[in-house]
């Protein structure tokens, strides 16, 4: 399991965990799995950072995003966030002291609205 959550416009927290039901008492298996997963996620982080540099070069205008069927879940998440922001902005939601979404989240929600939805 892994979870990626934005911290700022250019930084992200990357949480992960692994479960297994075999060799649970063997620390060498734990060490192997942790090492293997860490190497793979390190490659993911390097790829994401390289993509971030490419995207940053396009600011402030970004190329059109291409959405494919596998993007359905993230696109739905963007729509949910967009509705939450709209409800909060219209006063339909009590604003407790929780932090406001970062401007990047607002831009992502707006971008998903403006781009072609993927309805695969």
Per-residue pLDDT of the chain (120 residues; tens, 9 = 90+): 778 888 887 788 888 888 889 999 999 999 999 999 889 988 988 998 898 888 888 877 777 778 888 888 888 988 898 888 888 888 776 656 555 656 666 666 666 665 544 444
Written as one string, the DSSP assignment of 10-26 is: S-EEEEE----SSSTT-
- pLDDT at res. 110: 67
- pLDDT at res. 32: 94
**Residue among 43, 18, 16 nearest 31 (CA):** 18
Angstrom distances, CA of residue 46 to CA of 16, 30, 53: 16, 24, 11
């Amino acid at each position: 399991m892994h979870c990626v959550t934005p911290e700022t416009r250019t930084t992200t927290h990357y949480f992960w965990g692994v479960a297994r039901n075999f060799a649970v008492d063997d620390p060498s298996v734990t060490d192997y799995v942790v090492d293997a997963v860490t190497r793979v996620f390190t490659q993911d982080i390097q790829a994401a950072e390289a993509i971030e540099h490419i995207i940053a070069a396009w600011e402030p205008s970004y190329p059109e995003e291409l959405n494919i069927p596998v993007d359905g879940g993230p696109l739905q998440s963007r729509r949910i966030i967009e509705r939450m922001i709209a409800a909060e902005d219209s006063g339909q939601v009590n604003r407790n002291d929780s932090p406001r979404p970062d401007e990047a989240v607002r831009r992502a929600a707006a971008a998903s609205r403006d781009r072609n939805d993927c309805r695969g």
